Amino acid sequence: MRPIDIQNRVEKIQKMLEHYSQQHRTGHFAALGAEELTASLLTENQALTILWQGGPGDAPLPQGSSFVFTLGLHNPGLSPIGYTFAHLWTGRGHADPNISTFLLNVDQRFPTLTEPQTQQGLTIGPDEIKTLDFTVTIPTGVEKTLYTLNTCIMRAHWHGVGEFLARSSFPFLVG
């Protein structure tokens, strides 16, 4: 890919990110910057990028309440990516570099969620952005502290081992 093509794609994606950022004014919005986007586009065999995450802001959330967490996924490749799922849970795995133990570090008091809720998963076309929304309920009786949502993006292979594509973390405060 030529440098001008990469620059044009980064600018296009940044305009989309501005749009999504405006939709999440009441909460926290974390997105990749221009350098990270460029690196993602230059990486060979980059299957999928988590472009942005949107969730609750800095205000503490009460026990028993719910909030919406949104992921923006981008396919930087030239072929569609199908059978894609995002798995979400609360735990301290965000600092764990080992994917096996990262996936096991789950706070059992919180729900674990997977989207989309279809056996075909999500298909993301070349240079396409899709979003997934999760409704997270905070259980009663949990400590008033900062918690971390963890996300694993995976591609299912129903007759073999699935494929890990990306991961991310997002903080939220219970008060």
Helix (H), strand (E) at residue 136: strand 129-137
Residue scoring higher pLDDT (104 or 47): 104
Averaged over 58-66, what is the pLDDT? 95
| CA dihedral for 167, 21, 113, 73, sign (positive or negative) | negative
**Tokens for 112?**
């674990």
What is the distance between the alpha carbons of residues 89 and 139, in angstroms, rounded to a whole number? 13
Domain 3-173, classified CATH 2.70.50.60, yes or no:
yes
User: Does residue 35 register a pLDDT over 70?
Assistant: yes
Q: Single out the residue of 137, 94, 140, 84 nearest to residue 114, CA to CA.
A: 84
Q: Single out the residue of 6, 40, 10, 23 nearest to residue 133, CA to CA.
A: 23
User: Does residue 119 register a pLDDT over 80?
Assistant: yes
User: Does residue 155 register a pLDDT over 70?
Assistant: yes
pLDDT score, position 10? 82
Q: Single out the residue of 170, 111, 113, 174 nearest to residue 141, CA to CA.
A: 174
* 17-33 residue pLDDT tens: 887 777 766 678 888 88
| pTM of structure | 0.85
Contact 72, 134 (CB under 8 A): no
